[in-house]
Amino acid sequence: MNGSVTISHDELQAWLVDRIAFYLDRPPENIDPTVELARYGIDSVYAISIISDIEDHLQVEVDVAEARKRETVTALTDYLLELTG
């Protein structure tokens, strides 16, 4: 399915960092997009919440298993950009 929203890499990454910062209750500037999300404690429960947020925001369907193979914000951003084409 094609995304109905066009979004730049930087915009999408900033949005993702913001969501993750919200779930972790910490300032977004303390989140390094190249660090594995598991290191921050984004466990499976939060992963589902974040993927649902992404689906709402980008209006795309995301395969949970595929998305969870992307371990960092950067990798996840690249993957989502591919999806939205």
Partner 1 sequence: MERQVPAELSPAHRIAADLDAYLGDPMDDEAGPFSYKAIVEAEERDEIPAGAVDAVRAWGFPAYLVPSRLGGRLTTLEELFFVTRGISRRSVTVAVMYGSGLLAVNPVWLWGSERQRATVADGLLRGDLACFGVSEADHGSDVMASESQADQEGDDLLLNGTKWPVGNATRGRFVTTYAKTGSRDFSLLLVDKRELAPDCWSVLPPVRTVGLRGHDLSGVMFMDARVPADCVIGRRGSGLVQTLKTLQITRTAIAALSVGTIDAVVRIGMEYSRHRTLYGTDIYHIPVIRDHLVKAHLDLLIAECVAIPVTRALTVAPGRLSLWSSIVKYFVPVMGEEVVANIGTVLAARGYLREGVAHGVFQKLQRDHAIASIFEGTTHVNLANVAGQLPFLIGSSDGEEAEDDQAEELLDDLFRWTRTPPTWEPDGRILQLTNEGLDEIGRRFEATAEEVLTAASTHAAPGVAAELKELIGGIAGLRAKLVAGIRAAEGDTSSVAALARARRYCEIHAMVSCMRTWLHNRRDFGGPFADGAWLVLCLQRLLQRTQPDTVLSEEFLPSLEEAMFRTFDERRWFSLLSLAEDDRPVRPSEE
Site residues (vs partner 1, CB under 8 A):
22-27, 35, 38-41, 43, 45, 48-49, 52
For the chain, how many residues are written?
A: 85
Closer residue to partner 1 (CB): 3 or 28: 28
Q: Which is nearer to partner 1, 31 or 81 (CB)?
A: 31
Give min distance, CB of 47 to partner 1, in A. 12
Give least dist CB 11 to partner 1, A: 22
Minimal distance in Å, beta carbon 64 to partner 1? 13
Q: To 10 degrees, the CA torsion angle through 59, 79, 50, 67?
A: 110
> Which of residues 20 and 76 has its CB atom nearest to partner 1 in the complex?
20
